[in-house]
Amino acid sequence: MCAMRKKFNLAEEEYLKAVLALSGKNKAVRTKDVANALGLAPASATQMLEKMAKKRLLRHSPYKGVELTQKGREDAEAVLRRYQLLERFFIEYLRISPSEAAHQACLMEHFISKETQRRICQIMKHPEKSMGNKPMPKCRLEKDCDSCMEKFPAPKAGRLLL
């Protein structure tokens, strides 16, 4: 059986991404909008958002909405970066259709290891833009791309590491 190393469950990561996408420049997001984005009933969304507020991932104020905490924003950006990295990799390197790439990236973003993420990023020469040509969140695996390349040199092209 495969061991999972997740500190969040998949639903929490999807909520973090939804709040990040809806929040723009740190504005509060209505619970109703989060529920609509995720295709859920507002009562279900409220329940999960309150649970996440207890974990200090966001601040939830009834009738005012939710805002990501610094920790919540960092975690949301990490999930979004994994998604965008995988989506680009599938489209540009594996030539998978954009719709299938988006679907697969959404599934895999929750389970990819840091090492696999690092290697994909290195192979892609540390992309900074998503498929929509928008800036990707910064990588937080290392302090910067140069130190990542020094610590973990990319494998030589055409060599299988078995």
Query: How many Cα atoms occupy the beta-carbon half-sphere of 26 within 13 Å?
Result: 3
Average pLDDT on 128-141 reads 87
Average pLDDT on 5-21 reads 83
Q: Is the pTM of this model over 0.85?
A: no
Residue 2 lies in a domain: no
Sign for the CA dihedral angle at 63, 67, 71, 75 comes to positive
Asked if 56 and 88 sit in the same domain, the reply is no
Asked if 17 and 58 sit in the same domain, the reply is yes
Tokens of 83: 């998604």
Q: What is the DSSP letter of 124?
A: T
Whether the pLDDT of residue 49 is over 50: the answer is yes
Q: Could you give phi then psi for residue 127, rounded to 5 degrees?
A: -65, 145
- Tell me the pLDDT tens digit for each residue of 85-130: 999 999 999 999 999 999 999 999 999 998 899 889 888 888 999 9
Asked if 83 and 145 sit in the same domain, the reply is yes
Residue 28 three-state SS: coil
Q: Please tell me the total count of domains within the chain.
A: 2
Q: What angle do CA 96, 17, 2 make, to 5 degrees?
A: 65
- Tell me the pLDDT tens digit for each residue of 32-45: 999 999 999 999 99
Residue 5 lies in a domain: no
